[in-house]
Amino acid sequence: MKNEMWKAYARGMAAAMNSGSVAVPAGLLRSYRGIGLSDTEMLLMIQLLMFRQLEQVEFPTPEQLAERLGLTSMAVGQMLGRMMKDDLLAIDEQVDPISGIQSERYNWNGLIIRSAEWMAEDARQSIQIDREQQRPSLADQPKAGELFTVFEQEFGRPLSPMECETISAWLDQDKYPDELIRFALKEAVFAGKLHFRYIDRILIEWSRNRVTNTDEAKAHTQKFRGGRGS
């Protein structure tokens, strides 16, 4: 009989646990290590969230928190003090407009802001790493690497991954000589049409006319310009 009573009590507790939940910001769970919180300090924050959300307790005592965490109240006080020193946690004072009673509550906006800053920096670094991985290695492709530098100097900006792939394709797939690509770039600058589509059209035109070096390219260009001017 006694065992049945305890089993029923356990079932009731399980149902109560399933009926309540604590909303923890996903970004906080992802970033807490990055901003310097220990696992125990993160669990302390979850307890603060639970006190507010489920029990409407805005300012639990160190003793209440210590009981939940299995720590001493002194250890909890030290954790709270460190977080307040690092501007992750603060204590706000508020006055009830009706009763005039003054009370306190924990404010963790500093922690949320620090987490958001960490996530933004993490995203920036991930994008930078992706771009570096997409860009062909200058060490592995010395000719392409030199061309990248020449094109970036003429364009006055870094090349996009797609533009780098275009240059690599001119060298590896189309087998255009390095000097011919450089001369096509100069022609685009001279014509005032500094974009990759125009340079690609120049190279295709030279390829159709069996132009293989800069001397032939110069002769073909002069012939074309002379014919256009007559």
- Kindly report, residue by residue over 171-230, the tens digit of the pLDDT: 988 899 999 999 999 999 988 999 999 999 999 999 998 988 989 988 888 876 655 443
31 pLDDT band (50/70/90 cuts)? very high
- Among 146, 141, 139, 136, smallest CA distance to 179 is for 146
Three-state DSSP at 103 gives strand
Sequence-distant (≥ 6) Cβ neighbours of residue 206 within 8 angstroms: 180, 184, 216, 217, 220
Could you read off the pLDDT of 100-159 as tens digits, one per residue?
889 999 999 999 999 999 999 988 888 877 666 665 544 444 566 788 889 999 989 998
Domains of the chain listed by start with CATH number: 2-116 (1.10.10.10), 136-229 (1.10.10.630)
Longest dimension (CA), the chain: 113
| CB-CB contact of 161 with 148 (8 Å) | no
State residue 1's pLDDT score.
54
Tokens of 196: 């990759």
What are the phi and psi torsion angles at 106 (to 5°)? -80, 140
Instruction: Please tell me the pTM assigned to this model.
Output: 0.52
